């Protein structure tokens, strides 16, 4: 869109579902770019595919942007390349880089890409106004100490802080690739010491029994409570709530937990399942690529218990749309563990429990890797010591 830009037009330009641009007819090459987030930036384009960001409208007025664009166009005519394109050090601030460059790219190229830009904005808020070339090792070292020592009163483990740092480092590497930054200073940063979780937590036989008993007791209480509630409503001539079958589930928690125990699906993968992902005839669940951490589709066979769970749950739901009408299970899960008397066990540990049982049953590690959706066999090797043909059996062969 070409128009004579004015202060009013710039101020009133409204964000749309996709980024759009307005070209100034007074100064050739000057462009106003409006992002869906509402961020507005000045861009100068001196040839097809040749452009640079001059800055946000908060930093440059219309007159200043026209002056910069006019100078760049004159240099392009005289020298074929304006100085704005020759500059080795960008004046682009981290916040502007995220809005104008990284986030639009990440939304298209990365699974759930918007969350990476948001993670940087949240945990590196003090650096958002700092130019990219000023984000160096001493700056990030100070951030590291502050992140571990004070996070709104919450203690942050090193693994979490390191994921924050890795997200920023990856974004700066893209800035180098796009010629917005001469080099990524964080690539040469000394590796931060982050210890992985040393113990793979899985359920003992006693804990498995306790968890199942707690689930069954919870379902009985919910079903009986619904029946009593409806009796009271009937006496008061109030509308009745949907009946819960005596041999069914009280709500979504039991089917979610039992499916996690029998499929090894991540919590996010379970909660994103749709009925179209369930094939009762083939006895399999399909994890769609957009919901998988690895970004690859995979198929998980349903064993007898999982098939029974899905079949029973189908009778209590409409059988269309999402399998579970829940955003999270944290509250119910924590209460369940308390009732079962199980300590230090996360929902994600159900995934470890699934893998551990497979390995102890003699399933080879590569098959376990495929079922879990691990991109690298290294992730699956943590279970190798549980194999009946593992290290002890290998060493025993020396005496044969």
> What pLDDT digit, counting tens, does each position of 43-88 carry?
999 888 888 888 888 888 999 999 988 988 888 888 777 877 665 5
Q: How far is CA 387 from CA 98, 261, 361, 368, in A?
A: 46, 19, 8, 12
pLDDT of amino acid 153:
47
Q: Are residues 76 and 55 in the same domain?
A: yes
Question: Is 198 a domain residue?
Answer: no
Structure tokens at 15: 């964000």
Q: Any idea what the CATH number is for the domain that residue 70 is in?
A: 3.30.160.390
- Note whether 282 and 158 are same-domain residues: no
Cβ(288)–Cβ(270) below 8 Å = no
Whole-model pTM above 0.85? Answer: no
pLDDT at position 298? 92
Q: Quote the pLDDT of residue 388.
A: 62
Q: What are phi and psi of 30, to 5 degrees?
A: -85, 130
80 and 209, same domain (yes or no): no
pLDDT over 70, % of the chain: 90
CB proximity list for 46: less than 8 A, separation 6 or greater: 29, 72, 73, 76, 82, 85
Measured distance CA(91)–CA(244) in Å, rounded: 63
- Residue 281 belongs to some domain of the structure: yes
What is the count of structural domains for the chain?
Answer: 3
Give the bridge partners for 43, in sequence order.
Answer: 31, 53
At 346-390, the pLDDT tens digits run 999 999 999 999 988 888 889 989 999 887 787 888 887 776 655
Among candidates 153, 92, 99, 144, which has minimal Cα distance to 123? 144
Are the beta carbons of 81 and 75 closer than 8 angstroms? yes
> Last residue of some domain: 61, 86, 111?
86
* Among 188, 206, 103, 209, residue whose Cα is nearest residue 137: 188
Closest to 274 (Cα-Cα) out of 264, 265, 287, 263: 287
Whether 268 and 331 share a structural domain: yes
Range of the domain at 106: 94-188
Query: What is the mean pLDDT of the segment spanning 151-161?
Result: 66
pLDDT in tens, 179-217: 888 888 888 676 655 455 556 788 999 999 999 999 999
- Domain match, 266 and 360 both: yes
pLDDT at 154 over 80: no
Quick check: is 398 in a domain? no
Quick one: which of 87, 83, 57 has its CA closest to 70? 83
Measured CA to CA, the distance from residue 213 to residue 340 in angstroms comes to: 8
């Amino acid at each position: 869109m070409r128009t004579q830009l004015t202060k009013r037009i710039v101020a009133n330009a409204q964000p749309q579902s996709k980024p759009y641009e307005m070209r100034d007819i007074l100064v050739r090459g000057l462009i106003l770019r409006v992002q869906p987030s509402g961020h507005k930036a000045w861009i100068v384009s001196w040839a097809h595919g040749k452009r640079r960001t001059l800055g946000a409208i908060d930093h440059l007025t219309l007159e200043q942007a026209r002056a910069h664009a006019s100078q760049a166009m004159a240099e392009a005519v005289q020298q074929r390349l304006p100085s704005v394109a020759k500059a080795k050090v960008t004046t682009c601030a981290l916040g502007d880089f995220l809005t104008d460059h990284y986030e639009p790219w990440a939304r298209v190229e990365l699974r759930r890409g918007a969350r990476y830009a948001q993670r940087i904005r949240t945990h590196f808020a003090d650096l958002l106004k700092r130019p990219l070339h000023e984000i160096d090792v001493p700056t990030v070292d100070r951030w590291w100490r502050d992140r571990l020592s004070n996070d709104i009163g919450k203690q942050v483990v090193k693994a979490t802080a390191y994921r924050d740092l890795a997200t920023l480092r990856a974004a700066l590497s893209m800035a180098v690739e796009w010629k917005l930054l001469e080099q990524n200073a964080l690539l040469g940063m000394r590796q931060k010491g982050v210890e992985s979780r040393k113990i793979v937590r899985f359920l003992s036989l006693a804990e498995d029994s306790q968890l199942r008993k707690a689930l069954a007791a919870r379902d009985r209480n919910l079903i009986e409570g619904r029946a009593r509630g409806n009796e009271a409503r009937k006496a008061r001539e109030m509308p009745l709530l949907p009946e819960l079958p005596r041999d069914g589930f009280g709500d979504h928690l039991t089917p979610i937990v039992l499916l996690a125990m029998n499929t090894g699906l991540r919590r996010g993968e379970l909660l994103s399942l749709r009925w179209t992902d369930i094939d009762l005839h083939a006895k399999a669940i399909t994890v769609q690529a957009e919901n998988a951490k690895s970004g690859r589709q995979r198929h998980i066979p349903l064993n007898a218990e999982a098939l029974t769970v899905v079949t029973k749950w189908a009778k209590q739901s409409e059988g269309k749309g999402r399998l579970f009408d829940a955003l999270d299970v944290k509250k119910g899960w924590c209460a369940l563990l308390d009732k079962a008397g199980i300590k230090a066990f996360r929902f994600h540990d159900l995934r470890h429990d699934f893998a551990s049982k497979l390995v102890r049953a003699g399933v080879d590690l590569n098959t376990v890797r495929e079922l879990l959706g691990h991109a690298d066999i290294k992730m699956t090797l943590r279970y190798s010591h549980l194999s009946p043909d593992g290290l002890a059996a290998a060493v025993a062969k020396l005496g044969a």
